[in-house]
Structure 1
Amino acid sequence: MQSYWRLHRYPILFAFVSILFYIAFAYDLVRTDYIKLFMLFGALFYLCTKIIQFEKWNFKFLFVSGILFRLLFLVAVPNLSQDFYRFIWDGELIKNGINPYLFTPDQILEKGEIIIANMEELRNGMSDLNARHYSNYPPVNQLFFAFAALMGGGSVFGSMLVMRLLIVLADIGIVYWGQKLLQNLNLSSHMVFWYFLNPLVIIELTGNLHFEGVMLFFFVAAMYVISKNRWIWATPLYAASIMIKLVPVLFLPMFLKYFGFKKSALFYILVGVFSLVLLLPFYASVFIDNFSETVGLWFSNFEFNASIYNVVKKIAVTYYEAKPWELIKSYGSLIAKLAIGIFLLLALLRKNNTLQASITSMVLALTLYYFMSSTVHPWYVVFLLGISIFTNYRFPLVWSFAVILSYYAYSNPDYKESLPLLAIEYILVMGYFIYEILSNAPKKLYFFKK
């Protein structure tokens, strides 16, 4: 025991201090206190880097630390996001045999015909914006909500606890399959802990109950099965990943050169079939209209933590007297088309003949999309970080720290952002992104190849 302490005393001390900071974050922080939030997050990120540097080959130490940090949030109420109230609301509807895509919370309350457990508490907890719109969470995500509501026994706390345990289990699965995938790609297996111990991941997923990690679990499992040349068996896993958060559907073109035309076509067909099977229990005549209406809001109404969009908006409003509410609708429509173009270009122009090269194209494409997007919530960066560990790019790790600057908006009742802080965030991220592109391209041939 004494010899273990002598060998590992610094990482043990770092882990102990992290425990104290995570407890403070989970139980003694309100999101309006930005200075405290920034200092805790910054300290936790520094401690995370030191723990991994000291113990990167000590799987047991890193794994136990990651589990312990997560368990500290077990009974904490999310303090940076209200989304979990809507998750539980949708789950309670399904538990009562009601399709969550057919009614908004406000419509249900106005009719007064449907009664679900804790409906007043759930409606008061979620934002007014959320309550006015139809659910935009895909079918598999809804099944997790329903499971949490069922196992939670009608209690908000019980449902919250079940969701938290599901998210922790997904992160454990990412460590398991992620290490196997890293080994198959001839990469260092300890890289998975840059995800597993990352404060952004722990706080936004386990702490605030976002399901990006569950989406990533199915995605990583699918990539591992593909790496074992059993790509047909990967299709239901890939479909499940799509049906949690939709993002992986954008990556389908990246497999075209890796699989070849015939295999790609069959892969797409099977993923589509499994996706439809998962969708069928929720299908109704108005499903597509309601779901697409809500998803479309992300392109035409919302803005948060944007980079290029803020520059465009500043120029358009200042010099061309553009109306912001009209600008974002036009911009959103344009960006949706540009994003599709970027994903197709990277699929066709890059030499995606290996799985790692294909995943690298996914990282680059999703990054460029986020740079252009008008809305980049902090938890969006989690998935980008998760897939980047299977490449040689590290700028998403920088982003997982720099995104803390966007949390400043939470300190204001009207969510007013600080453009100088956002400028610092994106200068750091884009600067490191450009540095890695320029330094990696000549020697590793990771960008466009002929």
Structure 2
Amino acid sequence: MVFLIYSCCFAALLLIYRSSNGRINWLGVFVAGLFLRLLMFNSTPQWSEDYARFLWDGELVRIHQNPYLEMPSDWMETHAQDSTDYLESLYGLMNSPNYYSVYPPTNQLLFVVASYLSKQNVLNGINWLRILLILSEVGVFILLWKLLRGNSKLILYWFNPFVILELSGNLHFEGLVLLALLLSLWAYKKQQFLASGSFWSLAVGLKILPLMLLPSFLGTKQIRKSLGFWIGGIIVFGICFLPLVLNNSWISLLTSLELYQGKFEFNASVYYLLREVGFWIKGYNTIATLTKILSAITLVGISYISWKKKAESMGQLAEIWVLIYLIYLLLQPIIHPWYIIPAFGLSLLTNMKSMVFWTFSAVLSYHAYSQVDFIENPWVLFLEYLILGIGLTWDFKKENFNLKPIH
């Protein structure tokens, strides 16, 4: 039933997009999309409990505690005297009480803002997180409108039920990452390389994943030779991650990232296929070995794309970034659906269509949430990636993924 309703919403999106030829009342589009996001107010995310960890980390910082030094389960034992009803409520909602925080300091700053404004109320905290994310989406709308020069493709983002669900609904911060990356592209287009490097580092500071875009800069002549880009990038990167020096907080962050990378599996594609081969050959789950091999292949693929497709314009750089994200998303063992939002937003600046397909099919990954112990159905996964495969085939057929050097 959920998928049927979602499909109807997506069909409405495509209908609006297809009928938007000619002059578009962008103010009306903006207000309508904003209204859809505001409908989420006073609602609690149903498909993700990450918000509880966001507010937990923010509350610890607010009371002058370091969220990286102790797992929530340990903190509850060692700081019983500092606990409050608010923290106990968040702890009960949390899905990661036995793991160190994986969120960079820049993200933590936003958590602190929401926690401070929550006034010790979980629903208030949720709504303040939502306000921050909706404000970032307003920024994304403005930037895409400017970069697309009023192209109707903006509708595919602004009315996309997947985007609305994951950002305003489930409260994930990939929208802020997309905003920072779009600002980097905007600055690059304006030849403001200091700002471009700064905004890219800000994206890394929000979610470490955009660090994988680094090779694309080395393959772009203007950026590679721009001292301003690297100065801006290094300074902002240092500011974003400097707090990790306190009490060696970086050790806990790396520990959680390594554990996250080598233990968890969800919504994967290529990894699941290779895992079955591993079961057949070894008789057990070879995740420890597979993740290392696939990470190495990902690095090689990213490097190859970055050097083969040498960007000479903003659109070409955006295309390389989408390809880099695509390589990563197809090869990793855990792909939460909201991971694709930055790639989807960036793809609107290119001729690629496959990420639009994925915003439709990615919701199928939530089928596991309706099962006991979150067991994934391989046929549902097959359908999700079949739809993506159709989109990729379309793109390859249209030669949008042409790997010949761009002149």
Q: TM-score, normalised by structure 2?
A: 0.94
**Which residue matches 1:432?**
391
Matched, 1:215 2:177: yes
**Which residue matches 1:448?**
404
- Report the residue type matching 2:405 in the other structure: K
CA deviation after TM superposition for structure 1 residue 262, in Å: 4.9
- Report the residue type matching 2:2 in the other structure: L
* Partner of residue 9 from structure 2, selected from 33, 44, 49: 44
**Which residue matches 1:123?**
91
* Partner of residue 322 from structure 1, selected from 271, 279, 283: 283
**Which residue matches 2:251?**
289
The answer as to whether partners of 2:352 and 2:395 remain within 8 angstroms in 1 is yes
Per-residue CA deviations over 1:239-292 (Å, capped at 9, x if unaligned) read 221111112211122123434475356523431221111222343243222111
CA distance in 2, matches of 1:182, 1:145: 32
CA deviation after TM superposition for structure 1 residue 55, in Å: 3.5
- Report the residue type matching 1:227 in the other structure: K
**Which residue matches 2:125?**
159
Matched, 1:101 2:68: yes
CA distance in 2, matches of 1:264, 1:134: 37
CA deviation after TM superposition for structure 1 residue 113, in Å: 4.4
CA distance in 1, matches of 2:109, 2:366: 30
**Which residue matches 1:414?**
373
**Which residue matches 1:191?**
153
**How has the CA–CA distance of structure 1 residues 100 and 311 changed in structure 2, closer, same or farther, with 3 Å as cutoff?**
same
CA distance in 1, matches of 2:275, 2:244: 38
* Partner of residue 235 from structure 1, selected from 197, 201, 204: 197
Per-residue CA deviations over 1:5-53 (Å, capped at 9, x if unaligned) read xxxxxxxxxxxxxxxxxxxxxxxxxxxxxxx221221111111111222
Indicate the RMSD between aligned Cα atoms, in angstroms.
Answer: 1.8
The answer as to whether partners of 1:360 and 1:446 remain within 8 angstroms in 2 is no
CA distance in 2, matches of 1:264, 1:43: 48
* Partner of residue 39 from structure 2, selected from 72, 79, 90: 72
CA distance in 2, matches of 1:261, 1:223: 12
Per-residue CA deviations over 1:346-391 (Å, capped at 9, x if unaligned) read 1111132222112111111211221111111111121111111111
The answer as to whether partners of 1:343 and 1:365 remain within 8 angstroms in 2 is yes
CA distance in 1, matches of 2:294, 2:282: 21
Matched, 1:146 2:112: yes
Per-residue CA deviations over 1:60-88 (Å, capped at 9, x if unaligned) read 22211111110110110101101100000
**Which residue matches 1:89?**
56
CA distance in 1, matches of 2:281, 2:240: 47
**Which residue matches 2:323?**
364
Partner of 1:41, secondary structure, is helix
**How has the CA–CA distance of structure 1 residues 262 and 198 changed in structure 2, closer, same or farther, with 3 Å as cutoff?**
closer
The answer as to whether partners of 2:189 and 2:313 remain within 8 angstroms in 1 is no
The answer as to whether partners of 2:244 and 2:250 remain within 8 angstroms in 1 is no
Please list every run of 5 or more consecutive structure 2 residues that lacks an aligned counterpart in the other structure.
none
CA distance in 2, matches of 1:216, 1:171: 9
Matched, 1:110 2:81: no
**Which residue matches 1:134?**
100
Partner of 1:132, secondary structure, is coil
Identity of aligned residues (%): 27
**Which residue matches 1:179?**
145
